[in-house]
Amino acid sequence: MLEIISRIDAWAGGRRQALAWYRAQPIPAFGDRTAESLVKAGEARAVRDYLDCLSKGGFA
């Protein structure tokens, strides 16, 4: 969790906003599940891969 929050901190606008995104923002690529629900389901690697793709200019 902390690794993911740290990775999005800059583009989310700060730690508080990053945490809000992590907990509440549905991710269409994952059936509108949140990053938090994915991590809790043991799918943190998928979230990290998704963020890697976005950082390289990929689409959500």
- Please write the tens of the pLDDT for every residue from 23-50: 999 999 999 999 999 999 999 999 999 9
Confidence (pLDDT) at 60: 62
Percent residues over pLDDT 90 in the chain:
85
Confidence (pLDDT) at 27: 96
Confidence (pLDDT) at 14: 96
Domain boundaries, the chain: 2-55
Strand partners for 33: 27
Measure the CA–CA gap between 53 and 58, rounded to whole angstroms. 5
And the tokens for 46?
């998928």
pLDDT at 59 over 80: no
